């Protein structure tokens, strides 16, 4: 009996790489041409009230050295603005800040962030050029909020309680009005690869579509994955000197722990056998849909294609030939799918689906039509999958092998089975189903079942 030696281990999340930094009391710095006056709090704590006397209610307090903008004067009270908040504060606890310190700066119209991508980090300086002294370093992949900008391209920021200037040249990072963060998944000791199975996908500076593109990768592109982010993006060595991030939240990519070194960590071979893998639904027919634990809407058609592609890769890795009924978001009729194997010398057909019922429904099941001779084939696939899945995920329920005359298995010309990998209606299960690890586990189970059935 041939088996794949799986090397999956528990993935654990490590510390937050990009920590959302909130600058709710960011100083608003006046433009040189305006008459805005900036003040600093000189008391250890300063109450800001709803009106210009102590008889008014305190709406918030400011810490010592906080910077505020004066809006108007009312006796010994100033109406001030701190971040987005306004209120009244006693003028004796406010010291005017010399206008020269902000002479060339202007406040960004919308909140804009700068993401450092320079691998060695960026030096924070006390002024807007390299001649000023260093106050510290912002490491690569950190995000800072832009407080103001200088005409020479330097920006004023606060990082680690230090306010200073950094060179915002696009070779050191990028600006974005979008705030995003991500976590890096811990390396589980397995080498994973990214394989492109579609036309064109951007490689970006950081794992988000807000990050600038470094270029594109196309069909057949294969690369070792250097790091994975929990948002589904993976980092690759894009060129000799440049690393970049690619989203795997798309039907264009497959993540696998093997790229076809036959016999490398596998026993057995499917050489000489051809399988039709059918990703259920497509295009306007989304199949079932559900929301994962994060509330993201996920369509069955997308999950089906990704799982089908993982199965394709696993079969090809040990020499089998695969014909895909669809490789992108297109629609085929049930008849087109059922008749797909005709004239193609295929040995068997596997349709990939995901289930939907109540939010508590769980488990994996395999179907065949008892009007065909596919039972032994479907049983081998079922046992291969449930064994591999339960080894990795003991909580997955075995819903058994079942007879049902689904069109694609009933009217097929070859051995046919239909897999229902799990319930998209169950958020916990959906979150598991929509991972490369789960798909690869299913794919290895399918291969084990095929090896068993064909006696390889």
Interatomic CA distance for residues 166 and 128, integer angstroms: 7
Nearest to Zn ion of 280, 282 (CB atom): 280
In angstroms, what is the minimal distance from the CB of 422 to Zn ion?
12
Nearest to Zn ion of 49, 353 (CB atom): 353
In angstroms, what is the minimal distance from the CB of 434 to Zn ion?
15
- Taking alpha carbons only, the member of 402, 352, 396 closest to residue 374 is 402
Nearest to Zn ion of 318, 433 (CB atom): 433
Q: Which of 164, 287, 422, 449 binds Zn ion (CB under 5 A)?
A: 287
Interatomic CA distance for residues 11 and 71, integer angstroms: 53
Nearest to Zn ion of 308, 414 (CB atom): 308
- Binding segment for Zn ion among 176-184, 245-253, 276-284, 393-401 (CB under 5 A)? 276-284
Q: Does 353 bind Zn ion (CB under 5 A)?
A: yes
Q: Does 280 bind Zn ion (CB under 5 A)?
A: yes
- Taking alpha carbons only, the member of 453, 421, 417 closest to residue 338 is 417
Nearest to Zn ion of 173, 280 (CB atom): 280
In angstroms, what is the minimal distance from the CB of 301 to Zn ion?
8
Q: Does 164 bind Zn ion (CB under 5 A)?
A: no
In angstroms, what is the minimal distance from the CB of 383 to Zn ion?
22
In angstroms, what is the minimal distance from the CB of 355 to Zn ion?
8
- Binding segment for Zn ion among 95-103, 247-255, 275-283, 314-322 (CB under 5 A)? 275-283
Interatomic CA distance for residues 54 and 52, integer angstroms: 7
- x/- map, 305-344, Zn ion, by CB under 5 A: ----------------------------------------
Contact between residue 360 and residue 348 where contact means Cβ atoms under 8 Å apart: no
Nearest to Zn ion of 123, 356 (CB atom): 356
Contact between residue 307 and residue 352 where contact means Cβ atoms under 8 Å apart: yes
- x/- map, 128-157, Zn ion, by CB under 5 A: ------------------------------
In angstroms, what is the minimal distance from the CB of 239 to Zn ion?
40
Contact between residue 194 and residue 248 where contact means Cβ atoms under 8 Å apart: yes
In angstroms, what is the minimal distance from the CB of 402 to Zn ion?
15
In angstroms, what is the minimal distance from the CB of 288 to Zn ion?
6
Residue nearest to Zn ion (CB): 353
SS3 percent helix, strand, coil of the chain, rounded to 5, is 15, 35, 45
- Binding segment for Zn ion among 89-97, 114-122, 345-353, 367-375 (CB under 5 A)? 345-353
Q: Which residues in 83-109 are b (16+ Cβ under 10 Å) and which e?
A: beebbbbbbebbeebeeeebeebbbbe
Nearest to Zn ion of 282, 287 (CB atom): 287
Nearest to Zn ion of 244, 280 (CB atom): 280
Nearest to Zn ion of 20, 404 (CB atom): 404
Nearest to Zn ion of 204, 306 (CB atom): 306
Helix (H), strand (E), coil (C) string for 391-425: HHCCCCCEEEEEECCCHHHHCCCCEEEEEEEEECC
In angstroms, what is the minimal distance from the CB of 255 to Zn ion?
23
In angstroms, what is the minimal distance from the CB of 426 to Zn ion?
15
Interatomic CA distance for residues 373 and 406, integer angstroms: 14
Distance between terminal CA atoms of the chain?
Answer: 8
Counting beta carbons within 10 angstroms of the beta carbon of residue 202, is it exposed (0 to 12), middle (13 to 18) or buried (19 or more)? middle
Counting beta carbons within 10 angstroms of the beta carbon of residue 263, is it exposed (0 to 12), middle (13 to 18) or buried (19 or more)? exposed
- Binding segment for Zn ion among 219-227, 239-247, 280-288, 424-432 (CB under 5 A)? 280-288
Handedness of CA 366, 345, 444, 299 (dihedral sign): negative
| Of residues 104-123, those binding Zn ion (CB under 5 A) | none
- Binding segment for Zn ion among 182-190, 319-327, 353-361, 386-394 (CB under 5 A)? 353-361
- Taking alpha carbons only, the member of 232, 294, 133, 287 closest to residue 435 is 232
In angstroms, what is the minimal distance from the CB of 280 to Zn ion?
4
Interatomic CA distance for residues 381 and 325, integer angstroms: 19
Interatomic CA distance for residues 188 and 249, integer angstroms: 20
Nearest to Zn ion of 287, 320 (CB atom): 287
Residues binding Zn ion: what is the number (CB under 5 A)? 3
- Paired tokens of 266: 């596998």
Residues that bind Zn ion (CB under 5 A): 280, 287, 353
């Amino acid at each position: 009996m041939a088996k794949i030696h799986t090397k999956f281990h528990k993935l654990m999340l490590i510390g937050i790489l990009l920590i959302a930094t909130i600058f709710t009391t960011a100083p608003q710095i006046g433009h040189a041409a305006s008459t805005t006056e900036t003040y600093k709090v000189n008391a250890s704590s300063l109450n800001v009230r709803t009106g210009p006397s102590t008889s008014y209610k305190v709406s918030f307090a400011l810490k010592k050295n906080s910077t505020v903008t004066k809006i108007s004067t009312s006796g010994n009270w100033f109406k001030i603005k701190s971040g987005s908040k306004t209120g009244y504060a006693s003028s004796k606890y406010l010291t005017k800040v010399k206008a020269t310190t902000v002479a060339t700066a202007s406040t960004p119209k919308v909140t804009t962030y700068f993401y450092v991508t320079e691998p060695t980090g960026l030096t924070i300086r006390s002024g807007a050029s390299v001649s000023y002294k260093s106050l510290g370093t912002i490491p690569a992949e950190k995000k800072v909020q832009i407080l103001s900008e200088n005409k020479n391209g330097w920006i004023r920021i606060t990082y680690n309680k230090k306010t200073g200037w950094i060179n915002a040249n696009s070779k050191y990072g990028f600006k974005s009005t979008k705030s995003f963060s991500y976590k890096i998944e811990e390396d589980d000791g397995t080498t994973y690869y990214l394989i492109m199975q579609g036309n064109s996908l951007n490689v970006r500076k950081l794992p988000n579509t807000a990050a600038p593109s470094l270029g594109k990768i196309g069909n057949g592109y294969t690369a070792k994955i250097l790091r994975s982010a929990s948002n589904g993006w993976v980092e690759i060595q894009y060129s000799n000197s440049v690393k970049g991030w690619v989203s795997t939240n798309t039907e264009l990519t497959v993540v696998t722990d093997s790229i076809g070194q036959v016999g490398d960590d596998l026993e057995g071979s499917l050489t000489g056998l051809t399988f039709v893998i059918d990703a259920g639904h497509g295009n306007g027919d989304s199949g079932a849909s559900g929301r994962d634990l994060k509330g993201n809407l996920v369509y069955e058609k997308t999950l089906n294609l990704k799982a089908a592609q993982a199965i394709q890769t696993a079969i090809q890795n040990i020499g089998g030939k695969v014909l895909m009924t669809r490789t992108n978001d297109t629609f085929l009729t049930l008849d087109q799918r059922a008749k797909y194997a005709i004239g193609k010398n295929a040995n068997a057909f596997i349709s990939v689906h995901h289930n939907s019922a109540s939010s508590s429904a769980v488990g994996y099941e395999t179907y065949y039509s008892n009007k065909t001779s596919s039972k032994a084939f479907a049983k081998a696939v079922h046992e291969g999958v449930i064994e591999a899945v339960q080894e990795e995920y003991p909580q997955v329920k075995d819903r058994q092998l079942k007879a049902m005359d689904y069109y694609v298995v009933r009217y097929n010309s070859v051995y046919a089975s239909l897999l229902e990998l799990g319930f998209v209606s169950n958020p916990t299960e959906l979150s598991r189903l929509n991972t490369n690890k789960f798909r690869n586990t299913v794919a290895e189970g399918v291969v084990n079942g095929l090896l068993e059935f064909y006696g390889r």
